[in-house]
């Protein structure tokens, strides 16, 4: 083989490598799919406050829903929503769908502890505990 043939083959292989590399870069979002990352709260969280702030980041999404209600995200995919918990065990479902109709669903399990209020009466010297 002469020098020109070797240079042509090297240039062809470099061109193929560049095309394949760019294709992988352009299709990375398709291969990876939508993702949801939670900042707060963690699953298994217990609280005595009935309002909880759910916040996180959604990556490669078209729509995001929290408990089947559509939730807006900013340009970076950050979301933030205040939810009212019922007493006891609560499940918060966060779902995201990308432009290719692939979905991902994550859940957060939170327990709302009953609020206990203690009142004391000085006249009788007794303490009454009420559960709300």
How does pLDDT run across 35-63, given as a tens digit for each residue? 999 998 888 888 888 899 999 999 989 99
Confidence of residue 130 (pLDDT cuts 50, 70, 90): low
Is the predicted pLDDT of residue 128 greater than 70, yes or no? no
Mean pLDDT of the chain: 84
- Could you tell me the pTM of the whole model? 0.66
Q: Is the dihedral of CA 52, 36, 91, 67 positive or negative?
A: positive
Give the helix ranges, DSSP H, for 27-61. Answer: 28-32
Calculated CA dihedral for residues 8, 14, 19, 20, nearest 10 degrees: 130
Position 89 pLDDT exceeds 80: yes
Look up residue 25 and give its two tokens.
């870069």
Q: How confident is the model at residue 121 (pLDDT cuts 50, 70, 90)?
A: low
Q: Looking at the predicted structure, is the pLDDT value of residue 96 above 90?
A: yes
Q: Are 56 and 47 contacting, i.e. CB atoms less than 8 angstroms apart?
A: no
Amino acid 32: pLDDT: 79
The pLDDT of residue 18: 93
For 22-31, the pLDDT digits (tens) are 988 888 767 7
The pLDDT of residue 131: 53
54: β partners: 81
pLDDT at 99: 85
End-to-end CA distance of the chain: 89
Under DSSP, is residue 88 helix (H, G, I), strand (E, B) or coil?
A: strand
């Amino acid at each position: 083989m002469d020098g020109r043939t070797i240079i042509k083959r090297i240039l062809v292989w470099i061109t193929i490598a560049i095309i394949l590399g760019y294709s992988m870069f352009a299709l990375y979002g398709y291969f990876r799919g939508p993702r949801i990352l939670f900042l707060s709260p963690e699953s298994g969280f217990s609280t005595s406050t009935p309002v909880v702030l759910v916040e996180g980041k959604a990556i490669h999404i078209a729509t995001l829903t929290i408990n089947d209600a559509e939730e807006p995200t900013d340009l970076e995919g950050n979301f933030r929503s205040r939810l009212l918990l019922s007493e006891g065990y609560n499940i918060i479902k966060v779902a995201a769908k990308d432009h290719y109709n692939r979905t991902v669903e994550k859940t957060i399990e939170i327990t709302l502890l009953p609020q206990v209020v203690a009142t004391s009466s000085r006249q009788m010297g007794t303490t009454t505990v009420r559960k709300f």
